[in-house]
Amino acid sequence: MKMLEGKVALVTGGGQGVGQGIALALAAEGARVAVAGRTIAALEQTCAQIAQRGGTGLAVTCDVTDPADIERCVAQVVDAFGGLNILVNNAQIIPLGRILEVTDEDFSKGLDSGPMATVRLMRACYPHLKGDGAVVNLASSAAVRWDASGYGHYAATKEAIRALSRGAACEWGPDGIRVNVIAPLALSPGLRGWMDAYPDEAAAFVHSIPLGRVGDCENDIGRTVAFLVSDQARYLTGATIPLDGGQAHWG
């Protein structure tokens, strides 16, 4: 029997990159997976891959900065699949730039799509997760970089997500809900494009990773998430798991 047989998962930002890799890995372990995001064509492409492998996927359009859209998205998933056991908060607008460069508007977008969306989705899913639910939220090693120039606003949004996750893990543990965080380094389309455009810088970047490679979205990141939300990790909650090949120091 697969680890997630009979489970229902919702993955935001599931149309590409890390979100897609997580969705594929959850489906491979038997979960029925709803992928949410703003671009229906990308979501349907992920669902097509799930179907080709014999799984069940559902594409749900959702703007995670819109509270009403979040409520509708969760209701649509529960109506389609009869319940919800797993939530993965992956979607976020990334506010990169130096302190004097990032506008209030761009920072607000990062906050609205990051910690605000995370807590709203957790609240919306809470009634369905009670009893035997699991949440995985995404953080970033940007929060622990010594060379943090250009990452301050982004790191702030991700550290807020970590704080909310720890609070939820403590408050919702008695309700049978586990909440963990991953900080992934993965070969997303954006990172792949940068590496192709700047091969010398990319080589130095990869050299800084003790395991000597950038993580695969499905096989390295997605499979770990599948483990975290399974019964095999039933005593793990409130933790941050660095999935970065050992690159960042989380001491």
d(CA 212, CA 203): 10
Q: Which SS3 state, helix, strand or coil, does residue 131 take?
A: coil
d(CA 91, CA 84): 18
DSSP 150: T
Task: Centre a 10 Å sphere on the Cβ of residue 3 and count the other Cβ atoms it contains.
Answer: 17
Catalytically active residues are 154
d(CA 81, CA 32): 8
Q: Which SS3 state, helix, strand or coil, does residue 168 take?
A: helix
Q: Which SS3 state, helix, strand or coil, does residue 113 take?
A: helix
Write the DSSP assignment of 186-243 as a string of letters. Answer: B--HHHHHHHHH-HHHHHHHHHTSTTSSPBPIIIIIIHHHHHHTSGGGTT--S-EEEE
